[in-house]
Each structure stands twice: as C-alpha cells, then as structure tokens.
Amino acid sequence: MTALTSADGTVIAYESAGQGPAVVLVDGAMCFRHSGPMSPLADLLAKDFTVHTYDRRGRGESGDTLPYAVEREIEDLRALVAAAGGAAHVFAISSGVALTIAAASAGVRFTSLALYEPPFLTESGGGAQAKEYSVGLRELLDAGRRGDAAALFMTHVGVPAGVVDGMRAQPFWAGFEAIAPTLAYDDAVMGDSSVPRERAAAITVPTLLLDGGASPESLRAATRATAEAIPGARHRTLDGQTHDVAPEVLAPVLTAFFGETHHDRHNS
C-alpha cells in the first residue's frame, strides 16, 4: 500500500501494479480496493498497464476529513492522477461514474474514460424517488443507524428486502456498516440523480459507455443517455453481464479501448 496526501490533508491509500500506460480505477458505493470488483480487474489489466486502485475517502485505509464535499473527492482523484504521471485512462463503475464525470469537467487530466452503468435516473418521477432516498439516508446516518442506512441503500438499488435481511446476519455486514457514512458521499456525488448533461458536454477525451445485456433496463437507459450527453462517446453492451460485471469479460474490452486511445493520442 502507498499513500498520498490530498489537497485538504486527507491521506488517500492506493496501490499500483503492472507496467505501461497509467489506468486509474474508480469504485462505486460500498466498495474499496479489497472489497469489490476492482482488485481482480486490476490484476488482469496489469498485464498491459500500470493500474492504480485506491480507497475513496472514508473507506478502507484512506482517511476522512469533515465536512465532506464533492470537490474534495475531485481533489483526491486529481492527486492520484498526478501520482500516476500527470494523466491517466480511467475506468469507473456505478456512482463512481458520476464522480469521474465531475472530475473530468473540473479539468482533471484523463486520457480516456470507460464508464460502466451509471445509476442516473431517466424515468419520470425519478427526482422524487432520489430525494426520498437522500432524506431517509441522512436521517438514519444522523441517528447512528449505520446498518439500517446500508440496508436502505441495498433496497434502493433493487436488492429484495428478504435478501438484505439475510445479508445482515453475515459476518461481512460489519464491513458495510463501517463504511455506511460514505453512502452520503455517493449520494452527494449523484446530485439529483439526473444525467449531468452540462458536465458531460464538457468532456473532450475519448469515452466509452458500457452496460450489461442482462442488467435492468433502468441502468441500460441511463448508460445510453449518458453516452448521448458526452460528445463523440461510444456505447457498447456486454452480452449476458449484469451490474456485477465479470472482470474477465470486462478486461479485454478495456484493454482494447485504452490501448487504442493511447495509441491515437501519441500519434495525433
């Protein structure tokens, strides 16, 4: 584990592996370096790239400086990209996509973006649903009810209540409770959960939007809408995949895209 100090003094833990052009992996909610999809994905990408995984603030081995602001997480990414050599390809998943789009529009030097299933809401009435979740989440966290906050998030993203009840009895649930306060951070990053069209329109680097063919239509619609909002973005569906995308399916797609865009950048 290596660490860097972000602009506000927060220590951010990260790891680097492999050799080649820099790639940064940005997690979504409730995940960090060693709990989520990024570690096995990093192992596969490290054959062709120098891959940087990190714990977003408040998770894993990273620190947390209050009060939280989305701008602080953008500064974390800026510092990581600087440590990676000043520019990097980025893969982001879920709410990590919203953070990456915000960072790109703020001028963080990304070489290209590959974005998987941003959970923006595109259907009518989505704003009210997002607001209800935000209010409920903050009430639970303010009351110190971390387990209930984690459960609310799970049901909000579509996990059946009975399944959540079973998860709460498992040893890994303590880990979810430990980082439950960061659910409010992801909620802040998501804003009103609509596609951030103004920020997306400011993106100028090659961008690939990905979704899974077996994912809910709401996520697939959000992915298409995000692709349409980013100038020149491509969209690709990975057959048979869900929001829990298999690293071995994803890695070849990212390797081809990052390799192509890196080659184009250095030959333009």
Burial (Cβ within 10 Å: 0-12, 13-18, ≥19) of residue 98: buried
CB distance 214 to 188 below 8 Å:
no
Tokens 């100028």: give the residue. 204
Residue pair 60/267 in contact (Cβ under 8 Å)? The answer is no
262-to-18, 137, 248, 256 alpha-carbon distances in Å? 16, 41, 21, 10
Would you write out the chain's pLDDT as a tens digit for each of its 268 residues?
799 999 999 999 999 999 999 999 999 999 988 887 899 999 999 999 999 999 999 999 999 999 999 999 999 999 999 999 999 999 999 999 999 999 999 999 999 999 999 999 987 656 788 899 999 999 999 999 999 999 999 999 889 999 999 999 999 999 999 999 999 999 999 999 999 999 999 999 999 999 999 999 999 999 999 999 999 999 999 999 999 999 999 999 999 999 988 656 655 4
pTM confidence score: 0.94
Cite the residue boundaries of each domain of the chain with CATH code 3.40.50.1820. 2-122+194-266
Q: Beta strands 50-54 and 22-26: pairing type?
A: parallel
Going 263 to 261 to 31 to 237, the CA torsion angle's sign is negative
Which stretches of 38-170 are DSSP H helices?
38-45, 70-83, 95-105, 126-142, 146-156, 161-168
Measure Cα distances from 192 to 9, 71, 125, 134 in Å. Answer: 29, 16, 12, 9
Which of these CATH numbers, 3.20.20.70, 3.40.50.300, 3.40.50.1820, 3.30.540.10, describes 2-122+194-266? 3.40.50.1820
pLDDT number for residue 123: 75
